[in-house]
Amino acid sequence: MQLSLQRNDLASYVRKQLEHLFPDGADLVDLPKFVDLALDRVEHCFSRVRLKGFSVNGEARFSHLHSDQYAIFLYYLSNSVFRERPGHPIADKAYVLNKALHAWDAFYEVVLPDVFAVQHPVGTVLGRANYSDYFICYHNCTVGANLDNVYPSFGRGVVMYGGSRIIGQTSVGDNSFVSTGAIVIDGGMLEADSILHGIYPNARRSRTARNVVRDIFGV
């Protein structure tokens, strides 16, 4: 994988950010190990993402100055810490750092897929839904629960365009596009190969011949 900072330098960079934002003197000795785990996941993800700047000829490329890439890295960092050491303060700190830098809320207990992407995700909140590979979201998107605390699920290859909302008991089929500004609440089972548009309770779906994995991810 091509890196803008070598692994040890990246760990030092993250350490300085965490110490600046959280000057509580907490021990960050395990940070390099967790950075390695996060970068392994970044490599797996980015090598399968053909968006500009994420890979070159199938080789992952990661820059700490590419804000979308760094947001994904910080999610993987916080989630990797949570998986390895539940309760470790680095998970909370990396999660809050991500919100502070990118205004993107992806809590470390949320299980995002092995292959996903975000594009300028300012104002986006991704709740505890079931996600599948080749998920991508843009700015000001929301994935959340209904009043019964039921979350959506997403098939393989789903795009959420800016300002869209998927809430509650909604199962979005494979290869679906959620249109800009669409709001779907408790939409039930939505077929694959769909475009979702409109606003609850008048949200609608139509068929699409486009392909998310091919047209958006370039795979």
Q: What is the pLDDT of residues 186-210, one digit of tens each?
A: 999 999 999 999 999 998 999 999 9
Residues 93 and 122 in one domain: no
Tally of structural domains, the chain: 2
Residues 125 and 201 in one domain: yes
In the chain, what is the greatest distance between 2 CA atoms, to the nearest angstrom? 55
Q: What is the pLDDT of residue 57?
A: 86
Is beta strand 135-137 parallel, antiparallel or unpaired with respect to 158-160?
parallel
| Per-residue pLDDT reduced to its tens digit, 162-183 | 999 999 999 999 999 999 999 9
pTM of the model: 0.96
Residues 93 and 123 in one domain: no
Closest among 76, 62, 50, 52 to 213, alpha carbons compared:
50
Has residue 15 been placed in a domain?
Answer: yes
- Percent of the chain beyond pLDDT 70? 100
Residue 26: pLDDT band with limits 50, 70, 90: confident
Has residue 109 been placed in a domain?
Answer: no
Q: What is the pLDDT of residue 24?
A: 94
Amino acid occupying residue 14 = V
Domain boundary among 55, 79, 102: 102
Distance between CA atoms of residues 87 and 74, nearest Å: 17
Residues 93 and 121 in one domain: no
Residues 189 and 166 in one domain: yes
Has residue 219 been placed in a domain?
Answer: no
Q: Which residues contact 126 (CB under 8 A, 6 or more apart)?
A: 105, 106, 110, 112, 137, 141, 143
Is pLDDT above 90 for 219?
no
CATH code, domain carrying 196: 2.160.10.10
Q: The domain containing residue 7 runs over which residues? A: 2-102
Contact 185, 168 (CB under 8 A): yes
| Per-residue pLDDT reduced to its tens digit, 99-144 | 999 999 999 999 999 999 999 999 999 999 999 999 999 999 999 9
Residues 9 and 95 in one domain: yes
